[in-house]
Amino acid sequence: MENRRGQGFLLGLTGGVGAGKSTVLSYLEEAYGFHVIQTDLTARRLMEPGMEGFQTAVRLFGADILDASGAICRPVLAERMFREPEKRRQSDAAIHPLVWKAVREEAAAFRNGPVVIETAVPGKEFRDSCREIWYLYTSEEIRAARLRESRGYSAEKIRDIMASQADEETFAGQADERLDNSGSPEQTRKQIDRLLAERGIPLKAAKQQQKQRNGSDSGWPER
């Protein structure tokens, strides 16, 4: 059960591409000691040579998705998935259960402190795995500007990516809380601080001070 130190608190964070999820994850980790799990990185690990996801991708899309080292060339795979939606659906159906099994195992390993799971694809597994879910909203105009500046995406590519993701109604329908990240970073941090204060989860600095006063280990993992 969750306690005042965040033990057992499993948070879900979702939102569209360019919403600023990475920035929020960094703040949760650095300021509050959250262990961060990103489902896309988990999926990437499962696509390494010898892993079951790797074998599925090669079976569906062929050996021409591999680079000279024998690893999957991610840009080539992404392009094939975009052009062959039926095979992408088959790939997702095979790999998603593996991803969520790995995510749940990692979350359980860090259950002595707060954990956040981030995904851009909210679904039943996400809902079932998290104690509560936060939706990070950012206007499409700001998201597009960020993607142009940070990744150099064209307007056409940005439209295609946004169209392939869940819409705002779907994201909001999954969420228990909505964070607005269209303003300044400070405004977003204040929203996070308020929500976590309501849940009794202290700033990591306050936690470290308490640990020093008590002279004992609180059960938070070292960062």
Using only C-alpha atoms, the chain has a radius of gyration, in whole angstroms, of 19
Q: What is the pLDDT along the chain (223 residues), one digit of tens a residue?
A: 344 455 679 999 999 998 999 999 999 999 999 999 999 999 999 999 999 999 999 999 999 999 999 999 999 998 899 889 999 999 999 999 999 999 999 999 999 999 999 999 888 999 999 999 999 999 989 999 988 988 888 888 888 888 888 888 889 998 999 999 999 999 999 999 999 999 999 988 555 544 444 443 333 223 2
Find out whether 62 is annotated in a ligand binding site. no
Find out whether 23 is annotated in a ligand binding site. yes
Helical axes 52-61 vs 74-83, angle rounded to 10°: 50
Taken in order 45, 136, 104, 97, the sign of the CA dihedral is negative
Find out whether 21 is annotated in a ligand binding site. yes
Strand partners, 72: 66
- What does pTM read for this prediction? 0.81
**Beta carbons of 33 and 110 less than 8 angstroms apart:** no
The whole-angstrom separation of Cα 121 and Cα 16 is: 9
Find out whether 91 is annotated in a ligand binding site. no
Tokens of 182: 């269209």
**Beta carbons of 24 and 127 less than 8 angstroms apart:** no
pLDDT tens column, 87-144: 999 999 999 999 999 999 999 999 999 999 999 988 899 999 999 999 999 998 999 9
